[in-house]
Chains A and B, each alone.
Chain A
Amino acid sequence: MIKTLKVDAIKRGTVIDHIPGGMGLEVLAILKPRPGEVVALGMNLSSHVLAKKDIVKIEGRELTQREVSKIALMAPNANVNIVRDYDVIKKYTVSLPKVFSGVFKCPNPQCITNAEVIKTVFTVFDGSPIRLQCTYCERDYLSNELYS
């Protein structure tokens, strides 16, 4: 007998599909679900596109394109579906922003953003690999150094 993991369709909210396997928790950490929002997380599901994928569903919240861009580092190929009355009314693809503002903590313990209450700003250098530079301490980071 084939067993499948079933997650209910949502009535209104956001479904993020094709997150690389294991990155779902990182995505949730960035999106910070609010109290009252029902969240379903599927991890390491089979996928045709990726070896393993994660899915995040947030009931009751429609993510904006700007919020979606925050997850571009850990899930560059994710699909974002906005659902109303069980129908997908809008689809976003994730795209890399030029700047991440207030999303990641600077890993440099000597950075002023870790000493005072300051919103971090990282400039994105879109190359291979993607690099990000803290506007304050000017250190360069690879993307996984920021979210791990």
Chain B
Amino acid sequence: MNHLISMRDLNEKQIMAYMHLAEKIENGKVSINLQGKLMAALFYEPSTRTRMSFETAMKRLSGEVISMVGTAGTSVQKGETLADTAKIMARYTDVIVIRHPNEGAARWVSEVVDVPVINAGDGSNQHPTQSLLDLYSIMKTQGTLRDLNITLVGDLKYGRTVHSLVQAMSPFNPTFTFVSPPSLAMPDDILRELSDKNISFANTEDLNSSASSADIMYVTRIQRERFPDPEEYDKVKNLFIVNNSVLENAKDNLKVLHPLPRVNEIAVEVDSTPYAYYFEQAENGVIIRQAILAKHLGVAE
């Protein structure tokens, strides 16, 4: 069975297959019809963008959707296991899209059902559809995924999108610059993985100089809920703000990406510069999820 659980499971060729299919869908070079196909969205945690972009993707391709959003009033509250809920859903539908607070939940579901499972976020572990949409945004704006300078800014410790992105870019010979307060630095196990793969990276707190060499600047929100002490949050929240002065010496091809929602880490003034790409990035989410659904439902290669 063909599941999408983790970026770790995908090689370069498989990643590029998603990119090319998304490109063909966007350019109208392929027509995909998912009429008669039913997607189950099992969202054990709230999510706006991911769920709605999956539903949009499915419906735009003439497919249908049933959703469970949150566990209130469901069999989950009566004590039903994830495995049982998923097995029943697999009997009703053709594909399961799951978001769950426990890490590894999507992998577990993929082992107990016989329909394709797509991971829409498992705790702080993986979010492969976000990574693929980030890669698609990078490819669209840079024309390639190869040999790029990628600067990641903000919460690099807890942000699962940055962890997934770093892994997802690994086959393409990237150079990473990590800009974060020390308390939110990239975890050691990820740095170890990069060293094992001979990928060059640097940690810095100098946002301005890293901005001038970057092809992609990927900014994430520093989450207030990660700080038990509000004083600690106040100390770091304004440390790295991407504004027009930071981007003064930026390369022409630089694009600023953000998984959204943003708070203040990208100044609103940046929105009207040619560097801003975060809203287009969100739009790309529908296209890449159309490609993912078509591929995993066996309707396109």
Contact = CB atoms under 8 A, between A and B. Distances in A.
B189 A140 contact: yes
A148 interface: no
A130 B125 CA distance: 22
B40 to A, nearest CB: 18
B127 to A, nearest CB: 12
A17 to B, nearest CB: 34
B125 A116 contact: no
A134 B103 CA distance: 10
Q: Which interface class (under 10, 10 to 19, 20 to 34, 35 or more) fits B?
A: 20 to 34
Nearest to B82: A116
Contacts of B102: 110-112, 114-115, 137
B83 interface: yes
B192 A136 contact: no
Contacts of B173: none
Interface residues of A, number: 18
Nearest to A113: B104
Nearest to A135: B107
A108 B229 CA distance: 23
B207 interface: no
Contacts of B53: none
Nearest to B109: A112
B274 interface: no
Contacts of A113: 104, 108
Contacts of B108: 112-113, 116, 118, 136
A26 interface: no
Contacts of A117: 81
Contact of B125 (A115, A118, A137): A137
A135 B103 CA distance: 10
Contact of B107 (A108, A136, A139): A136
A87 interface: no
B292 interface: no
A118 B6 CA distance: 19
Contact of A138 (B8, B81, B82): B8
B2 to A, nearest CB: 18
Contacts of A137: 102-104, 122-123, 125
A110 B124 contact: yes
A110 B103 contact: yes
A139 B189 CA distance: 8
Contacts of A135: 104, 107
16 contacts: A110-B102, A110-B103, A111-B102, A111-B103, A112-B107, A112-B108, A113-B104, A113-B108, A115-B82, A116-B81, A116-B82, A131-B192, A134-B104, A138-B103, A139-B125, A140-B192
Which 10 A-B pairs rank lowest in CB-CB distance, beginning with the nearest?
A136-B104, A137-B103, A112-B104, A140-B189, A112-B102, A137-B104, A112-B105, A112-B108, A115-B102, A110-B123
Interface of A: 108, 110-118, 131, 134-140
Given A117-B81, A136-B103, A138-B6, 14 more contacts: A110-B123, A110-B124, A111-B104, A112-B108, A116-B81, A118-B108, A134-B104, A135-B104, A135-B107, A137-B104, A137-B123, A138-B103, A138-B125, A138-B126
